[in-house]
Amino acid sequence: MRGGNARAAGAVTTRMPEQIPLASSSIATDSGDMDRSEEVAPDLAYKKTAIVNVAFYGRPGEPGWVLIDAGMPGSADAIYRAAAERFGENVPPSAIVLTHGHFDHVGALPELAAEWETPIYAHRQEHPYLNGTRAYPPPRPGAGGGVMSRLAGLYPRQPVNVARWLGLLSENAEVPFMPGWRVIPTPGHTPGHVSLWREADRALIAGDAVISTRQESAYSVLAQKPELHGPPQYYTPDWNAARDSARKLAALEPELLLTGHGPALRGAEMREALKLLARDFDQIARPGKS
């Protein structure tokens, strides 16, 4: 497997126009300190654990913070350290809010929830995947090409069971413990996928509804080049809904965009890329017939 951008045979072979370099509008992610999260607003930071981001809502040193998503399996310690660095030692969050329940967003969730005894909020349609009753449909190995999607069949699919702590995120309502933030339903990648939106500073936490690295390719997962893409192809079952969701997010005209995979982006260049992705979603993001 040489050449990180190589696509699987039979996958889309045209150069995809979604790979818009956004270097000038990306926010540096290399803080030089493994324990630190990257602050993108006075009360918002994020941290990359392995291939996926978690976000921290709340001001440094103040209690009442919220963890958004819970990383890969095995990332609990990294999340503890980043939380301690930002909010102080042994300051549990008021809540954990989930964009969706894929394994790379709930990996540390059972451990964190048990340690913190903190409520977990997710959309009603994600609950079956979080209370042990249902597994997500199998990924489409090879979709989108690249080594990550070829390995997708090996990803764990057994649902976690955090029913004990599970609470409801209501569509278009305020996010619990996050004043000023609204729950935007963005289904497609999963049935109950949500994004979080704060009108005041036009900050958007998009989960995997759109992402800022090409997740299918191990190369750009590692390089974290700033770009904008549709949701990870091997894991998205409803492309019409995913398109509508991307369009909904583009119409918000965010100033700051935090995604599940890839660096935070901000500004006009990001908005243009998001609009282009939304407009030409079927050509850019949707996998070819296979």
CB of 180 to Zn ion, least distance (A): 25
Cβ nearer to Zn ion, comparing 11 with 211: 211
The contact pattern for Zn ion, residues 83-122, with x = CB under 5 A and - = no contact, is -------------------x-x------------------
CB of 104 to Zn ion, least distance (A): 5
Q: Which of 10, 5, 12 is nearest to 285 (CA)?
A: 12
CB of 98 to Zn ion, least distance (A): 11
Cβ nearer to Zn ion, comparing 102 with 150: 102
Cβ nearer to Zn ion, comparing 52 with 274: 52
CA distance 81 to 9: 41
Laid out side by side, the sheet with 95-97 consists of 38-41, 44-49, 52-57, 66-68, 95-97, 120-123, 166-169
The contact pattern for Zn ion, residues 244-273, with x = CB under 5 A and - = no contact, is ----------------x-------------
58 forms part of the interface with Zn ion (CB under 5 A): no
Binding span for Zn ion by CB under 5 A among 85-93, 137-145, 202-210, 268-276: 202-210
Contact predicate 195/210, CB 8 Å: no
CB of 60 to Zn ion, least distance (A): 26
Q: Which of 122, 56, 123, 40 is nearest to 92 (CA)?
A: 56
Contact predicate 143/149, CB 8 Å: yes
Cβ nearer to Zn ion, comparing 37 with 49: 49
Q: Which residue is nearest to Zn ion, using beta carbons?
A: 102
208 forms part of the interface with Zn ion (CB under 5 A): yes
- Residue-wise burial string across 182-195, b where 16 or more C-beta atoms lie within 10 A, e elsewhere: bbbbbbbbbbbbbb
CB of 233 to Zn ion, least distance (A): 11
What is the size of the binding site for Zn ion (CB under 5 A)?
4
Cβ nearer to Zn ion, comparing 86 with 105: 105
Contact predicate 95/63, CB 8 Å: no
CB of 19 to Zn ion, least distance (A): 19
CB of 215 to Zn ion, least distance (A): 7
Cβ nearer to Zn ion, comparing 125 with 267: 125
193 forms part of the interface with Zn ion (CB under 5 A): no
Cβ nearer to Zn ion, comparing 25 with 236: 236
**196 by DSSP, 3-state: which?**
strand
**5 by DSSP, 3-state: which?**
coil
Contact predicate 259/214, CB 8 Å: no
Return the C-alpha torsion angle 92, 71, 190, 228, nearest 10.
120
Contact predicate 99/196, CB 8 Å: yes
Cβ nearer to Zn ion, comparing 18 with 69: 69
Q: What are phi and psi of 27, to 5 degrees?
A: -105, 130
CB of 13 to Zn ion, least distance (A): 25
Binding site for Zn ion (CB under 5 A): 102, 104, 208, 260
